[in-house]
């Protein structure tokens, strides 16, 4: 499994995402730039340059026509993916850092998460392309259709920044995971945050670093700094599985058709200068989804903590982004599925004896 290295960012990678078609990889960095690359050969198509500060997230709609960016400059951007044109920067109120952006199903709505003064807000915007592209309409005229939590004297939302957010099934709710150690579900119909769960009940406040769906969206996997990744049932947020690594985890994903969980992370960046790549634990680890056992790993070639991993929708390739500023794309070997299923069978045979 020989990776393709993408080297253009000059500061740590904050997010990597692969579009729905699986042909493009988007990366964001603390250098204030978002970039787009071909997954097939690593060629860089272009750079989305317009924010004044770090970019924490970039998400594209289902048709890969429009992109959203989340900036430390308290703004989110709307881009035309193919041309790199910045249609507008919007500064939500109150003026807080934007940490996560997410397109909704059908690209008629999108979500923006902000954080400031120990409070995270979730803002839902309606999207009509002709209005958002119309330069005669001022950016400050775009107001969220829904915002969470509702204004009240007693704060009922996240008290740390949102690490990741997901649209619930059929867009009737949104689910957020934050560095305060909680996962919350917000009902768009009632306007309430009616469900929340502690990621680790034994260590409340554990920093959650990522969250993503299984292919059918019935399961959620999240990772945290306590060296674990956990699977939750989407409807009830009930914890089902726990996978334990030997390093703080920054991201975890579920393979779309194999019983495979992939996790990544590494030691803290401040210690990297004194640690080689082998002892720094900068590999991607594989766990069996059912048995919760580690079954292997891939040495990525990164020499710093891996901050994020993105898996294509067909499970054929994935991308990693690391603290040193490099992105790497890996394509699974053609016989990987066969080898994995043979290994899985050996697990079952041992369990039956």
Picking from 267-271, 282-286, 327-331, 333-337, which range would have the lowest pLDDT averaged per residue? 267-271
At 303-320, the pLDDT tens digits run: 999 999 999 999 999 999
Q: What is the mean pLDDT of residues 282-306?
A: 94
Q: How far is CA 176 from CA 165, 208, 232, in A?
A: 4, 10, 13
pTM metric for this prediction: 0.93
**How far is the C-alpha of 142 from the C-alpha of 89, rounded, in Å?**
11
266 neighbors 251 (Cβ within 8 angstroms): no
Q: Is the pLDDT confidence value at 288 over 60?
A: yes
Indicate the SS3 state at residue 297: strand
pLDDT at 151 > cutoff 60? yes
pLDDT band at 211, cuts 50/70/90?
very high
More confident residue, 307 or 94: 307
Domain encompassing residue 42: 4-352
**Mean pLDDT to the nearest integer, 212-226:** 97
| % the chain with pLDDT above 70 | 93
Residue 94's pLDDT is: 87
What is the pLDDT, as a whole number, of residue 353? 46
Average of per-residue pLDDT values in the chain: 92
Q: Which residues, 6 or more positions from 199, have their beta carbon under 8 angstroms from its beta carbon?
A: 177, 181, 182, 183, 206, 208, 222, 224, 230
- The per-residue pLDDT for 189 is 81
CB atoms within 10 A of CB 195: 15
Query: Residue 337: in which H helix or E strand, if any?
Result: helix 336-352
Q: What is the CATH number of the domain that holds 220?
A: 2.130.10.10
pLDDT confidence tier of residue 352, bands split at 50, 70 and 90 = very low
Number of domains in the chain: 1
């Amino acid at each position: 499994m020989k990776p393709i290295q993408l080297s253009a960012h000059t500061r740590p990678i904050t997010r990597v995402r692969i579009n729905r078609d699986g042909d493009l990889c988007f990366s964001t960095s603390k250098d204030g730039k978002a970039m787009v690359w071909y997954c097939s050969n690593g060629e860089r198509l272009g750079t989305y340059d317009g924010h004044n500060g770090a970019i924490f997230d970039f998400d594209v709609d289902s048709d890969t026509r429009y992109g959203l960016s989340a900036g430390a400059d308290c703004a989110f951007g709307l881009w035309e993916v193919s041309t790199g044109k910045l249609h507008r920067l919007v500064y939500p109120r109150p003026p807080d850092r934007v940490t996560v952006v997410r397109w909704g199903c059908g690209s008629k709505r999108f979500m923006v998460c902000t954080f400031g003064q120990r409070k995270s807000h979730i803002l839902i915007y309606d999207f009509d392309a002709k209005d958002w592209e119309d330069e005669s309409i001022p950016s400050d005229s775009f107001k969220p259709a829904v915002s969470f939590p509702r204004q009240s004297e007693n704060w009922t939302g996240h008290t740390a920044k949102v690490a990741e957010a997901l649209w619930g099934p059929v867009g009737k709710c949104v689910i957020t995971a934050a560095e305060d150690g909680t996962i919350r579900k917000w009902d768009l119909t009632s306007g309430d945050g009616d469900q929340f769960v502690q990621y680790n009940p034994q260590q409340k406040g554990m920093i959650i670093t990522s969250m993503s769906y299984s292919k059918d969206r019935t399961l959620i996997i999240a990772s945290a700094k306590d060296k674990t990744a956990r699977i939750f049932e989407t409807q009830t947020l009930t914890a089902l599985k726990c996978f334990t690594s030997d390093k703080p985890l920054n991201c975890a994903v579920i393979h779309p058709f194999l019983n495979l969980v992939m996790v990544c992370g590494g030691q803290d960046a401040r210690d990297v200068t004194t640690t080689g790549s082998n002892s720094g634990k900068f590999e991607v680890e594989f766990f069996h989804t059912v048995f919760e056992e580690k079954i292997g790993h891939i040495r990525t070639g990164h020499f710093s903590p891996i901050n994020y991993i993105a898996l294509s929708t067909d499970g054929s390739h994935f991308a990693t982004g690391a603290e040193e500023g490099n992105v790497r794309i890996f394509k699974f070997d053609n016989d990987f599925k066969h080898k994995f299923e043979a290994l899985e069978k050996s697990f079952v045979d041992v369990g039956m004896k």
